[in-house]
Every structure is written in C-alpha cells, then in structure tokens.
Amino acid sequence: MTRLPMATTASVASLMILAPGCGPLSQEAADTPYHILVTNDDGIGSPGIRVLADALRDVGEVTVVAPCGQMSGSSMSVQLGREKRLVPISDDNGTWGYCVEATPADAAMLALEALVPDGGFDLVVSGINAGANTGDFGHMSGTVGAAMMGAYYEVPAVASSLGGQEMDFAYPAAFTARFVEELRRRPPMPGLVLSVNFPAATEDAITGVAVARMGGSYIRFGYEEIEPEGEVRVFRPGLTPPDTHPPESDTEAFVAGMITIAPLRFDWTDEEALLEVGSWELDHRLGTPSGN
C-alpha cells in the first residue's frame, strides 16, 4: 500500500489539487504578461515540443528555443567558449521558434541571456520528452538539464516527459498546460525544477497523480560484451527492468501507472554531510593531525 500523496481522478480538469480559494486568475494577473521559455533535448523537430508549445500558448506568451538535433542524455552539459548561432524555424505562419547547435542546457542558457522579454521569463518548460525521466534518470536527462538551467537563472522550471510505447503528446501537453496554469496562480518558486512524468499517453491509462521524491530507476542500463573487432573489445548496451523500486519514490508511483511530480533542487548540497564533514576539524597543514 502506497502512502504517496496523490490525486485519485484522471480528468485534466480535476487533476490539480487546488488550495481553498484558488480559482481562476484575477483580472490583474490575466492582464499581466506571463512569459514561458519552451525547450527540450529531443531537438526542435520533435513532435513533443511543438504540441507542448501550442498548449502553453493558451497560458502565456511562449518563446521556443531548443537544440537543432537529438541531444538526449546531455544532462546539464554546456559547451563553454563556443559561438552559438540562433537559427529561426518557420512554418506557413512564420517563425515559431529557434534552434541552436548546442546542448539543451546551452539552448536554454542562450535564450535566458539573449531573448529575455520585458519583465523576464516567468517559467521554463522543457519537453515533452520521448521517454520517462523518473528517479536516477533525472541526473542524465537533457530534458531535466535544460530545466535546471532555468533554476540556475532563478527562474522556476518544469520538465515534462512521456514514458510508455505510445508517443501521443496531446494529453501530456494538456496536463502540463493545466499544471502551468496552477503555477501561475501561486508565488514563484525560483531555483526549483518540477519533474513531471507520464507513464502513458492517454487519460484512461493513468491511475492518478503522485507528488513524490526522486528515487530508483524503472530501467537499468548495462553492457553485454560481444564479438571483438580484432583487438578492440565491443560492448552492446542492454536494458533490464529492476524487480523493486524505492518505497514512496517517483519511480514506484510511475510503474504503478501514476503521473509523478518530483520537486528537484539546483543546489545538490547534502545538509547532513555538510554538518558531519564540518565537524572533522580538518587542517590544511599536512603535519597537523586532524581534530578527530
């Protein structure tokens, strides 16, 4: 039996748990521009980013900047000291976004430096990724890495990812837009990334919503050694589903069919270890014994 905090319905209209008195935007808030930067790690040509951007245009003013190509697994890697070129991406209605030959975090950084609207960006939304990023995957994910760049700039951020076999982004985009509407009603949370993961593409396949801590992996990566190429050893990647998941983790809830929301910090500091190691009374002089 899980003790995760969760919603028990699966309709887009009722998934969000609203605080008392938290209704529609006030007229003043509705008239104030709400600037959203949309990015991803699957590249500007991925269907997930286009569907997400279209859904978010009903919530605020959207700027789209993403890598020009596939950059999954980039984490928060950046290519410092290299020129970046912002390439406009157009359709029949004109320019709808820009791409950068760079990592997801680089693309977000460039937008946060060079394309800041009047009043600044209010939110960074990264996704929708093709593949889930619960638990340990968050550390490797370019989707989460791009959102973390928002946190680095003290802009609240959301990372949105879709697992499962069916890559239909309509429902995840609608839910993400609903979630962003909820964030807009509330005080900003700078330095925070909310990692949202969908185990399936349709509302009927979802069992609820869990707000849970990051933990575990729904798939374990490994390598199998195969026939060498002369003196060169060759290893083929393999994926294995683990038998168990950490209790009350986002991965546990995800494999149970729930949308998961994991609040992540840009600051990785372990507060307990900070106190513990600080108590060692270390001395920079090599000839001096430690305090303990």
3-state secondary structure 74-115: CCCCCCCCCCCCEEEEEECCEEEEEEECCCHHHHHHHHHHHC
| Per-residue confidence (pLDDT) for residue 171, from 0 to 100 | 97
CA-to-CA dists, residue 237 to 130, 154, 232, angstroms: 19, 37, 16
| Per-residue confidence (pLDDT) for residue 25, from 0 to 100 | 66
User: In angstroms, rounded to a whole number, what is the distance separating the alpha carbons of residues 210 and 215?
Assistant: 13
Over residues 147-192, the pLDDT tens digits come to 999 999 999 999 999 998 899 999 999 999 999 999 999 998 888 9
Pick from 190, 36, 191, 173: nearest CA to 111:
36
| Helix/strand/coil for 219 | coil
The residue written with tokens 């499962």 in the block is 164
CB contact at 8 A, 212 and 262: yes
| Helix/strand/coil for 128 | strand
pTM of the model: 0.85
The residue written with tokens 């609903």 in the block is 178
Domains of the chain: 6-218+245-278 (3.40.1210.10)
Q: Which residues of the chain have pLDDT under 70?
A: 1-31, 288-292
| Per-residue confidence (pLDDT) for residue 216, from 0 to 100 | 82
> Which burial class, exposed, middle or buried, applies to 127 when counting CB atoms under 10 A from its CB (0-12, 13-18, 19+)?
buried
